[in-house]
């Protein structure tokens, strides 16, 4: 009797799996949504291929929405307001959308499949985002797992961006990786050098894009970048500034400091860089050199677990305990943070407890 029940359950599971597969295959190969119309900001119309994501369809039209994870539905940056069409909100979108955003028709454009005409609202600044053909002109090893890469812009030859913003890099297929990948990287060069882009890229073990960059990319290679993206940039005020970074999070802060060197500033600035061991420190002399450039600037590398043989004599442990001595007026302090989500959460908590207003804490999370 019991074995009969098991057989029935197995048959039912088999049939539903088969039907689900048929549905997926039919959706993939038989459903033809043809050419669909996307109306942007009530004034611009583009014809796109139906059946693909809204993010991809717009990208084919050279309209680039931010998409830090390359369309995998894991970053939540590809938000876009749909005023008509687009179908129901998917479970994959919900974790990234607040109740207000859901009410306002905000969707993750990488999850919305174009199956008919759609109307969307996007910021005008999106139209300034371009796709750049570039050539790699320099690759430097900063540490055992961090490289600095310089790209010369070929077409278009100039980029207009704010220090702190990021680009998206397209990696090529290699080895067992059969598809291109798109990932976000903060620009580490200054906006005034607008004919090139420098990135600082840390190797993520098993990471698709960073493995390509570290093991396959060579000087002379052609690479496509899109950008600029993001709202992580220096606010034009007189407030004191705290910069905090770890790992490759140094990239946008380097761009900000080099930008400020050109335009000049008298603002009080302290830059904390957190590293695990001395082997994770890099560009230290370059950052220290800013102490001679700006009237009130301090670079503070802090090492949490230095090896005894490294003879580290600088600041030790986590960076947060050192904040009080750097913050003279919390209400008049802006913080610019960049690094892993875990570090950002801990640093934000510490800053808010010290009285720095949450609204003055700006960050880019690399997670």
- Tokens read off for 23: 């549905």
Tokens 């690479």 -> residue: 223
Question: In the complex, what is the shortest distance from the CB of residue 84 to ligand FES, in angstroms, rounded to a whole number?
Answer: 21
Q: In the range 243-282, which residues lie near ligand FAD by CB under 6 A?
A: 248, 251
Residue 206 interacting with ligand FAD (CB under 6 A): yes
Among the listed ranges 68-76, 157-165, 232-240, 245-253, the one in contact with ligand FES (CB under 6 A) is: 68-76
Question: In the complex, what is the shortest distance from the CB of residue 105 to ligand FES, in angstroms, rounded to a whole number?
Answer: 16
Residue 68 interacting with ligand FES (CB under 6 A): yes
Q: Binding residue for ligand FES (CB under 6 A) from 58, 110, 257, 338? A: 110
Residue 78 interacting with ligand FES (CB under 6 A): yes
Residue 233 interacting with ligand FAD (CB under 6 A): no
- Tokens read off for 229: 């993206």
* Cα separation, 59 vs 122, whole angstroms: 14
Residue (113 or 268) nearer to ligand FES, CB? 113
Plot region of 208 (φ>0 → left; ψ -120 to 50 → alpha; else → beta) = alpha
Our measurement of the distance from residue 127's CA atom to the centroid of its chain's CA atoms, rounded to an integer in Å, reads 19
Q: Give the CA radius of gyration of the chain.
A: 24
- Contacts of 209-212 with CB under 8 Å at 24 or more apart are 209/169, 209/171, 209/181, 209/182, 209/183, 210/183, 211/174, 211/177, 212/171, 212/172, 212/174, 212/177, 212/181
* Cα separation, 195 vs 271, whole angstroms: 27
Residues 130-169 as x/- pattern, contact with ligand FAD by CB under 6 A: ------------------------------------x---
Task: Give the footprint of ligand FAD on this chain (CB under 6 A).
Answer: 68, 75, 166, 181, 183-186, 199-202, 204, 206-210, 230, 248, 251, 364, 366
> Residues interacting with ligand FES, by CB under 6 A?
67-69, 71-78, 108, 110
């Amino acid at each position: 009797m019991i074995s009969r029940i098991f057989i029935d359950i197995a048959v039912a599971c088999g049939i539903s799996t088969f039907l689900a597969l048929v549905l997926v295959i039919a959706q993939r190969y038989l459903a033809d949504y043809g050419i669909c119309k996307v109306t942007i900001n009530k004034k611009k119309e583009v014809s796109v291929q139906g059946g693909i994501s809204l993010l991809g369809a717009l990208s084919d039209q050279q309209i680039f929405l931010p998409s830090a994870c390359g369309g995998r539905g894991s970053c939540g940056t590809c938000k876009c307001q749909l005023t008509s069409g687009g179908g129901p909100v998917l479970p994959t979108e919900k974790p990234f959308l607040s109740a207000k955003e859901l009410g306002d028709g905000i969707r993750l454009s990488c999850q919305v499949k174009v199956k008919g005409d759609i109307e969307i609202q996007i910021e005008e600044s999106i139209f300034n985002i371009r796709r750049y053909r570039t050539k790699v002109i320099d690759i430097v090893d900063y540490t055992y797992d961090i490289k600095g890469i310089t790209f010369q812009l070929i077409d278009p030859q100039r980029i207009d961006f704010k220090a702190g913003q990021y680009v998206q890099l397209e990696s090529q297929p290699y080895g067992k990786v059969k598809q291109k990948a798109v990932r976000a990287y903060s620009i580490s060069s200054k906006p005034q050098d607008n004919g090139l882009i420098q990135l600082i890229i840390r190797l993520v073990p098993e990471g698709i894009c960073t493995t390509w960059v570290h093991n396959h990319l060579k000087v002379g290679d052609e690479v496509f970048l899109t950008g600029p993206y993001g709202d992580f940039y220096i606010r034009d005020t007189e407030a004191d500034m705290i910069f905090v970074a770890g790992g490759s999070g140094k990239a946008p802060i380097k761009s900000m400091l080099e930008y400020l060197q050109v335009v000049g500033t008298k603002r009080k600035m302290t830059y904390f860089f957190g590293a695990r061991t001395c082997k994770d420190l890099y560009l230290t002399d370059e950052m220290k050199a800013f102490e001679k450039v700006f009237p009130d600037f301090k670079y503070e590398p802090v090492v949490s677990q230095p090896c005894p043989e490294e003879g580290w004599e600088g600041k030790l442990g986590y960076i947060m305990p050192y904040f009080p001595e750097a913050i003279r007026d919390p209400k008049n302090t802006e913080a610019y943070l960049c690094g892993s989500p875990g570090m950002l959460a801990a640093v934000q908590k510490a800053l808010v407890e010290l009285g720095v207003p949450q609204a003055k804490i700006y960050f880019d999370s690399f997670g």
